[in-house]
Amino acid sequence: MAVKLEARDIRLEYYQPRTDTRLVALDGVNLTVMDGEFVSIVGPSGCGKTTFLSVVDGLIAATNGRVMVNGRVVSRPGPDRAVVFQDASLLPWRTVERNVVYGLECLGIADAEAKARARKFIDMVGLSGFEHHYPHELSGGMQQRVNLARALVMDPEVLLMDEPFAALDAQTREGMQEELLRIWLQAKKTVLFITHQIDEAIYLSDRVVVFSGRPGRVKEIIEVGMERPRRLTVKREARFHAIEDRIWGLIEEDLKSRIAGDRPPDTPRD
């Protein structure tokens, strides 16, 4: 299997003019994601996991280190990566279809072709018949499906997902997790998925990366090693709980040492 995405020695510092200090948000983050792999990053809030995703997307420039997709260094957003945003961030003045074609429009792809491509992915996320609905006419789960279709239609090398199900209620979230795995198997994409929900990370992923906070760095990488396709019932199995406990332990350790270290809580939101 080939390496699809590689982040090497990512360091990110923010200058804070008010206190005249430099805040280290990410410190020496290394991560490799193989072609077709599903990798999640979990960690306490404020650990810099979303910031890391923004660096990978190229929205934030790293102070040091580099991000490579297929061995090519990337430093700004490009069509080889597409983000599924945390709050669906659909453009409210565009219908479902117009939202899904947005990225293609930005690339200057002809309208007819863009629409044809959009149709396929609107269908894949199960929203056929809703093409001409506006976002406010959709439920939260449906909005996230549009968000996903908008990224998938770009046919990116890597799909970057930033806590896409965080705002959904528990049942919808579980449904969406199952949906996502189905779509992932169908679309055969490499996925980097950010979440603070440990069970979500385990259920979805081949590997789970545990971040520790302030500054954000990789604490440990855990191989999930459960067969696919997975059903939601896997979450109730003993081996699942074992992995969950282990990750919980790592995060707890981190939180305890942070409280003991008594660092100021002025880290930017992750």
Partner 1 sequence: MATAEIELDAGASAHPSTLARFYREHERSIIGGGTLLAVLLIWEGVARSGLVDPLFLSSPIQIVKAGIDLFEGGEIWTHIQVSGSEFLLGYALSVAIGIPLGLATGWYRRLSYLLGPFIDALNAVPRLTLMPIIVIWFGIGIWSKAVVAFLGAVLPILIATNSGVRTSEARYLQVARSFSASELKIFTSIILPGTVPFIFTGLKYGIGRALLGVVVGELYAATAGLGYMIGEAGDTFQTSVVFFGVLIFTATGLVSVGVLDALERRFETWRPKAGAAS
Residues 71 to 130 in contact with partner 1, rule: CB under 8 A: 76-79, 82-83, 85, 87, 89, 91-95, 102-103, 105-107
Minimum distance, C-beta of residue 43 to partner 1, in the bound complex (Å)? 21
CA distance 160 to 13: 22
Residues 40 to 69 in contact with partner 1, rule: CB under 8 A: 57, 59
The pairing of beta strand 72-74 with beta strand 64-69: antiparallel
Decide whether 49 or 207 has the Cβ nearer to partner 1.
49
CA distance 109 to 118: 12
Site pattern 143..182 for partner 1 (x: CB under 8 A): -----------x----------------------------
Decide whether 95 or 190 has the Cβ nearer to partner 1.
95
Token pair 């990366």: residue = 209
**Who's near 236: CB < 8 A, 6+ residues apart?**
none
Closest residue by Cα to residue 177 from 161, 155, 157: 161
Contact call for residue 6 and partner 1 (CB under 8 A): no
DSSP letter, residue 76? S
Decide whether 17 or 92 has the Cβ nearer to partner 1.
92
DSSP letter, residue 146? H
Are the C-beta atoms of residues 79 and 100 closer than 8 Å to each other? no
Decide whether 87 or 244 has the Cβ nearer to partner 1.
87
CA distance 217 to 25: 9
| Binding region for partner 1 (CB under 8 A) | 57, 59, 76-79, 82-83, 85, 87, 89, 91-95, 102-103, 105-107, 134-136, 154
